[in-house]
Amino acid sequence: MTASPLTLVCSHCLAVNRVPANRIHDRPICGKCQTTLLPTAPVALTDQSFGKFVSRSDVPVLVDFWASWCGPCRMMAPAFAEAAAELSPQFILAKLDTDAAPQTASQFSLSGIPTIILFQRGNEFARQAGAMNTDQIVQWARSSAPRL
């Protein structure tokens, strides 16, 4: 019995792609624009891209809600980038600038930033407020991941 294909949304063109589950470690690329579908660096999301990207991806998406004026957010950015490389392809890490994407940010009743939220097919699965280092982000993501 073969596993069902995974649905992945391209972070560049937002095309929806289907990838055989057993090929997830083969660095799949978008059929439309040839961008890697499972990046090893955080993806920048906007009000326009957030909904489709997070809701259509079968791979859990971990989003860092941040702002450029936030000192702890800036301090956590390198750790989040390192975590993206370590967690790929089991997770896709993304960033949402709360000032540049106020519509999306307001949907989540954030008590502070940075806040990371783990989504599975558009549903919030877990959240954590406050700056973390790379090891803390990786450990939190793996312990919070949905069990499929």
Examine the residue annotation and report whether 30 is marked as an active-site residue of this protein. no
Q: Catalytic one among 10, 30, 33, 73?
A: 73
Cα–Cα distance measured from residue 69 to residue 121, given in angstroms and rounded to the nearest whole number: 30
DSSP label at residue 14: -
Q: Catalytic one among 10, 13, 33, 70?
A: 70
Tokens for 20, please give them: 């055989």
Cα–Cα distance measured from residue 136 to residue 141, given in angstroms and rounded to the nearest whole number: 8
Residue 115 parent element (H or E):
strand 115-120
DSSP label at residue 91: -
Residue 85 parent element (H or E):
helix 71-87
**Matching residue, tokens 């989003």:** 63
Phi–psi pair at 21, nearest 5 degrees: -55, -35
Examine the residue annotation and report whether 70 is marked as an active-site residue of this protein. yes
Question: Which are the catalytic amino acids?
Answer: 70, 73
